[in-house]
Amino acid sequence: MFADPGDETTPVPMTAADALARETPLPMAIEQDPALVMRRLEVWRDEFFAWVRTLASAAVYATLIVTFGFQVARVEGLSMAPTLADQDRLIVNKLQYRLTSPQRGDIVMLYYPVNPDKSFVKRVIAENGDTVRVVDGRVYVNDVPMRDDFVPAEYRSHDDWGPQVIPEGYYFVMGDHRNNSLDSRHWGFVPKKYIIGKVQIRWWPVPTARVF
């Protein structure tokens, strides 16, 4: 009886070529020159250690940058609104004030003078030698009204403070949200050694990222 061509279990007669192929062993891929294999292993080893050295160097450089040059910080609270929002992520330049002094208008990260274990972000309003006073929430530096168009009307305060002369090596700082900020009006002047660095970049959230 002839087999049904559609029957997948029907045996197919073996040809002479098929029989010869079964009897001939396949070449083994691993049968190579041992010296060539060793050279390849050495190349892979060298590439692996090169990557390890690169990653280690990157880690060291990143540590040095964070330790001595820059610091990543997170805003907590609304004292710098609307300039900075709660949970904004910042990059602080810690080298800036090793070469120069803080300037009026700089946004800085500083240690809280009352408890240096804490840190705040504020704006420098005046520097050593300046005379500062606040009249009904309006800030005067050396009897000149400070330009504060970055402070919306609803964020202004109506307090009075001063006048006081800032001593050598100290700074007067405030939050941009004037009626929702603890700052130099409450805990006094900030020594330069307590200023960690200048806020350079807001990198998060991405849609509001900017350089200061």
Residues tagged active-site: 79, 122
CB 185, CB 163: distance < 8 Å: no
Question: 174, exposed or middle or buried, with CB in 10 Å at 0-12, 13-18, 19+?
Answer: buried
